Structure 1
Amino acid sequence: MTERRIRLGDGAEMEVETAGTGGLRVAMLHGAMSSRRMFDALSDRLLAGHSGLSTLAVDLPGFGGSSKPGGGYGYSAQAARIAAVLREDPRPTVVVGHSMGGAIALTLLLAAPDVVDGLVLIGTGLGRSGGSGSIAAYGTPALERELMSRYVAGWLVDPDPALVDALVEDAMRMTPASFDGVRAAIGAYDLGAAKKRLAALDLPVLVMRGARDRTRTAAEAAELTAAFRHAALVEIPDAGHCPHREKPEAAAAAILGWLGEVAAPAGARGATIAAAQGAGGADQL
């Protein structure tokens, strides 16, 4: 595993963590109030289960160990930062985005389709959340620990105190400016008008939803799946808004199974993914 800090063209600084040596890169974008740590368990299982992969996880500016600029929290700005990082090392890339990270991944796909060869969208939709667990349901809250504890506990089916504490610590690494900026970005998000553009793109997509997610509804997951030509939908049982954190074994198995199937139905991009995975194949989880 390698960690580094990148200074981006707009002056923001981003912490990046890479692992593995495979030819297919899995780039992971976390959700709001979170950090790259949300993907630790999933990354470990993906790398253990498939020798053809490498992973890249980032702390988006405003979160985790990255800088906390006064602005630039819109999804287009964050997508531009990710595109710059991916272009530093061009290679076939599947982008995994959770919640807000999924919305940024979709924005990245529309703005820079050359850097995205496949998508895994976890707890994501095409617009503002229709469930009861969004931060938008809290009105105009301040960044404070008690609220964050209640909020992140709502992501989980079984809100284990140790996990909740870890998620709260991540949330409290934000600043008031980054908290307000991400809430504004969440409120402004709407890709409903982009459905025709998404449908025209020839790449494989996996939509993943925790079966007991209170933030993103089953109808939103179905709408997102239907927006693409080559998309599959999987629900992870007994998981809420963070299936990759609550049930990492099941989430990894779903992703690895999908990677093994995408070449046939997904045209050129699927073939690119299959070639990048190399001869290592999928090992037993």
Structure 2
Amino acid sequence: MTAQAALPTLHEATYDTGRQKIFVAKAGEGPAVLLLHGGGPGTNGVSSYVRNIAALARDHQVIVPDLPGYGRSTKGVDPADPFGHLADGVRGLLDRLGLEKAHLVGHSYGGACALRLALDTPDRVDRMVLVAPGGIGTTRALPTPGVNRLLNYYTGDGPSRQKLEEFIRRYLAFDDADITDSAIEERYRASLDPEVVAAPPLRRPSGRGALRTIWKMDLTRDARLTRLAVPTLVVWGAADKVNRPSGARMLADRLPDCDLYLAARTGHWPQYERAERFNRLCADFLTGSR
């Protein structure tokens, strides 16, 4: 969404990781924390964390990429292993930034990316905040209405402003009172990028190997989860209509070092809907306070 809170000065750059180019906005100094955004149509890094960047930049170097497939980064995500593709991109970005290790904050699609990166290379992750992450228990029940809206955005009669507005107002936020029409229009226009329309980064697995892909995308079935020692904070909205809040308990039961915060009267966007509380939780957790 468009900024509704003062942002610090952002330093922008694009990094070539070899496989793709990733656009990044940075602010602040200190230990590095990457903010990884969700997978909704027309989204990008800064708009997803517009209410959090300034607060976290007080004590950290905040790095906000547009994930592969979104914003000003290279379009296209491997449909056979989307979480692995995103994780590889972020790991390549860490290499280009000269960071051996960093904190990760990941929302939804970005949360699945953060968790997959930590499972594959735990030595690259210091602490991790997972915000209603994707890929949690997804093979144990049918997709939620919110996930179906996301997966169907580019199918059928194609993208439309009505589709996007319905998703944002009805499924993304618990209370949409401060989401403006101009913010929706901005995201809708971004969702019409021809490269994205041709190869949406978030889509329903299909064709040969689809079942294998679906199984791989349920990260709660990854045996490495119970051995992942990265300190983790899970934040979830109790009224989330996209990713089921029951996923929070799944993670807390499996991860050996996991704190859990379930926010009442909150939908799928806790870092925006409960920004002040979210920023305090993150700041405390990333500095080692609980």
Band the TM-score falls in, shorter-chain normalisation: 0.7 to 0.9
TM alignment of 1:167-186, pairs within 5 A? 167-173=187-193, 175-179=196-200, 181-184=201-204
Structure 2 stretches lacking a partner, 5+ long? 1-9, 207-212
Counterpart of 1:191 in structure 2 is 219
Counterpart of 2:50 in structure 1 is 40
Q: What TM-score, normalized to structure 2?
A: 0.79
TM alignment of 1:101-250, pairs within 5 A? 101-125=110-134, 126-128=136-138, 130-135=143-148, 139=152, 140-141=155-156, 142-153=158-169, 154-159=171-176, 160-162=179-181, 163-173=183-193, 175-179=196-200, 181-184=201-204, 188=214, 189-194=217-222, 196-250=223-277
- Provide the rounded CA distance (Å) in 2 between the counterparts of 1:170 and 1:54: 27
Q: What TM-score, normalized to structure 1?
A: 0.80
The one of 65, 68, 78 aligned to 2:75: 68
- Provide the rounded CA distance (Å) in 1 between the counterparts of 2:34 and 2:244: 25
Deviation at 1:100, TM superposition (A): 0.6
- CA separation of 1:150/1:221 partners in 2, compared to 1, >3 Å: closer, same or farther? same
- Provide the rounded CA distance (Å) in 2 between the counterparts of 1:239 and 1:167: 21
What do the CA deviations read for 1:181-233 (whole angstroms, capped 9, x no partner)?
42136973212321x31111222101001122111222111102222011011
- Provide the rounded CA distance (Å) in 1 between the counterparts of 2:163 and 2:69: 19
Q: Secondary structure at the match of 2:172?
A: coil
Q: Secondary structure at the match of 1:249?
A: helix
- Provide the rounded CA distance (Å) in 1 between the counterparts of 2:99 and 2:22: 18
- Provide the rounded CA distance (Å) in 2 between the counterparts of 1:241 and 1:248: 13
Report percent identity of matched pairs: 25
- Provide the rounded CA distance (Å) in 2 between the counterparts of 1:19 and 1:185: 36
Structure 1 stretches lacking a partner, 5+ long? 264-285
- Provide the rounded CA distance (Å) in 1 between the counterparts of 2:185 and 2:65: 21
Counterpart of 1:7 in structure 2 is 16
- Provide the rounded CA distance (Å) in 1 between the counterparts of 2:257 and 2:101: 18
The one of 76, 80, 91 aligned to 1:83: 91
- Provide the rounded CA distance (Å) in 1 between the counterparts of 2:166 and 2:248: 24
**4+ long deviations beyond 6 Å:** none
Deviation at 1:165, TM superposition (A): 3.7
Q: Secondary structure at the match of 2:242?
A: coil
CA contact (8 A) 1:96 1:122 kept: yes
More relative contact order, 1 or 2 (CA 8 Å, 6+ apart): 1
